[in-house]
Structure 1
Amino acid sequence: MNHISESLFVGTAELEHTEMYLKAIWHIKEKEGQSKVSTIARMLNVRQPSVVQMLKKLDEKKLVVYNKSGVRLTQEGKDIGTSMMRNSRLLEVLMKDSLKMEIDEEMVCGIEHHMNEQFTDALCTMLKHPRKCPHDLAIPKGKCCENT
């Protein structure tokens, strides 16, 4: 009998959900400076009450500071958001420049949550540490970029 040594990975939807919110807040801050519930809702295509509920959870987890004046990332939230943006922008460079294919944002979103720092740094190094994604937005630097 042939035993299968390969194992399957089941991701956690809750973790990916958290990462998407932190990525959205990070991205909005990069473009507009101030993250509002309405802007987050529009970007993630969810209703505002859902955003408020999630922001309260993220606040409890100390990933954001959420109050009447708006929302801002804590250092831990910012680190996760930065990592997610770095992953997605490097994947966009990989698709467009190396694989010569159209950028598939749904695929990028599916992959970015499963990249660890070692993989991301290896991808960045392979791509020769690009500073801009195909949308002409800055790619956050990683440890691998310190000597470039």
Structure 2
Amino acid sequence: MESAISRRKSDDEELFIGTAESEHVEMYLKAIWYIREKGEEVKVSSIAKLLNVTQPSVVQMLRKLDASKLVNYGKGSVALTDEGDRIGKQMIRNTRLLEVLMKDALKIEIDEEMVCGIEHHMKNIFTDALCTLLKHPRQCPHGHDIPRGRCCSNT
């Protein structure tokens, strides 16, 4: 039996729903990246405070991230793997570029809830195009550095 999706005409709008689990993982990697960026030691308590979750929840997620090879988690120590670092950095970059878009280009108040909803669905091609459109900003409106992307190599 043919599904409704396979019958969809090519000019119809396609709706995509991401998984909550992947967004949850990205939020943790982003938080770890952010804490490390500030020069602080990444601890269960600092992740819990930043994400407003319980420490046991953090421990549970760190074990999952460790099993997925996104972090190295051991006796009180948390470190991003190369892949975890890449994802965390991308989430930070997406967030900060969206903040620049809202404040400087669209001239609207930064809506962190909206930013958080969008950042998980941005592909690299979109992020690089946004960065180029915004003329490769170096800092977000909060004064934090925006990680550079491939599109920034010529600027």
Aligned-residue identity in percent: 69
User: Which residue number in structure 2 is paired with residue 139 of structure 1?
Assistant: 146
Q: Quick one: which of 41, 65, 69 aligns to 2:48?
A: 41
Structure 1 gaps, min length 5:
none
**Are 1:119 and 2:109 counterparts?**
no
Letter in 2 for 1:121: D
Q: Distance in 1 between matches of 2:150 and 2:39?
A: 27
User: Which residue number in structure 1 is paired with residue 69 of structure 2?
Assistant: 62
**Are 1:106 and 2:123 counterparts?**
no
User: Which residue number in structure 1 is paired with residue 13 of structure 2?
Assistant: 6
Q: How many residues align?
A: 147
User: Which residue number in structure 2 is paired with residue 79 of structure 1?
Assistant: 86
Root-mean-square deviation over aligned CA pairs: 1.4
Cα shift at 1:3? 10
Asked whether the 8 Å contact 2:44–2:76 carries over to 1, the reply is: no
Structure 2 gaps, min length 5:
1-8
- Normalising by the residue count of structure 1, what TM-score does the alignment of the two structures yield? 0.96
Distance 1:60 1:122, change over 3 A: same
Q: Distance in 1 between matches of 2:108 and 2:54?
A: 33
Distance 1:3 1:102, change over 3 A: same
- Normalising by the residue count of structure 2, what TM-score does the alignment of the two structures yield? 0.92
Q: Distance in 2 between matches of 1:43 and 1:145?
A: 29
| Of 121-130 and 27-36, the range deviating more from structure 2 | 27-36
Larger radius of gyration: 2
Letter in 1 for 2:15: L
